[in-house]
């Protein structure tokens, strides 16, 4: 998957959050979108994943030489973000089953393997509402990493994770981010230190 931005901008009311971004996210690359809180990095990630429409410029997606329409891009990406809610009335088993009605497991992964990754054996019937904030974040990340999609987008991936959780996240990166376009929105170096490329929102104000 390749994403090409041609003079992209986004504004709210009359204020430009960012503008003039001409950039290419190449297949299999790893990218960090950087900036302080409130700078617009999450907004850019939402434009990239189709949740928001740009206010100016052109955004295009290319997969195996074929153009993908923006309204279809959700089929090709996995996302974990603080604003992405889990269905708290579901049990863990129900949440995993629901997620993978829309996505395919990566090779070698199934529900049991995902539960092992989460270290939640015996918690399949526990409702999501009773999970700690850290466990909810781990679940969001595990669902994203373990889905077989050509794109992985993560916004502030270690939110609500302690040091052990950060190590767990970096282990997932090592195991499951290869051979897919990975884009991290962050202002914490440990979240994106593996990324080969960086895009700084401050350069597009």
Sheet of strand 15-25: strand arrangement: 15-25, 2-12, 56-63, 66-68
pLDDT of residue 130: 96
pLDDT of residue 65: 87
Q: Are 140 and 84 in contact (CB under 8 A)?
A: yes
The CATH number covering residue 164 comes to: 3.40.50.300
Q: Which sign, positive or negative, has the C-alpha torsion 27, 28, 29, 32?
A: positive
pLDDT of residue 42: 95
**Containing structural domain, residue 150:** 2-204
pLDDT of residue 161: 96
Q: How far apart are CA 122 and CA 176, in angstroms?
A: 24
Can you give the pTM of this predicted structure?
0.95
Q: Total structural domains in the chain?
A: 1
Average pLDDT of adjacent 10-residue blocks, the chain of 205 residues = 97 94 96 94 96 96 93 95 94 97 96 94 93 96 98 97 96 94 96 96 95
pLDDT of residue 121: 84
pLDDT of residue 113: 95
pLDDT of residue 176: 95
HSE-up of 187 (CA within 13 Å, CB side)? 10
Q: Are 187 and 35 in contact (CB under 8 A)?
A: yes
């Amino acid at each position: 998957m390749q994403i090409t931005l041609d003079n992209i901008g986004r504004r709210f009311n009359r204020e430009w959050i960012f503008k003039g971004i001409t950039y290419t996210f190449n297949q299999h690359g790893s990218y960090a979108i950087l900036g302080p809180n409130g700078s617009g990095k999450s907004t850019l990630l939402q434009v990239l994943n189709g949740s928001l429409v740009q206010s100016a410029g052109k955004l295009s997606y290319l997969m195996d030489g074929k153009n993908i329409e923006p309204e279809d891009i959700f089929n090709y990406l996995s996302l974990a973000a603080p604003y992405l809610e889990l269905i708290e009335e579901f049990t863990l088993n129900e949440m995993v089953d629901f997620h993978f009605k829309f996505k395919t497991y990566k090779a070698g992964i199934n529900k049991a393997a995902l539960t092992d990754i989460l270290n939640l054996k015996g918690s399949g019937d526990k409702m999501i509402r009773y999970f700690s904030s850290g466990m909810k974040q781990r679940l969001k990340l595990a669902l994203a990493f373990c889905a077989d999609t050509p794109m992985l987008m993560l916004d502030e991936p270690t939110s609500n994770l302690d040091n052990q959780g950060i190590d767990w996240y970096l282990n997932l990166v090592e195991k499951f981010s290869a051979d897919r376009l990975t884009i991290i929105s962050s202002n914490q170096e440990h979240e994106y230190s593996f990324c080969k490329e960086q895009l700084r929102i401050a350069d597009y104000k």
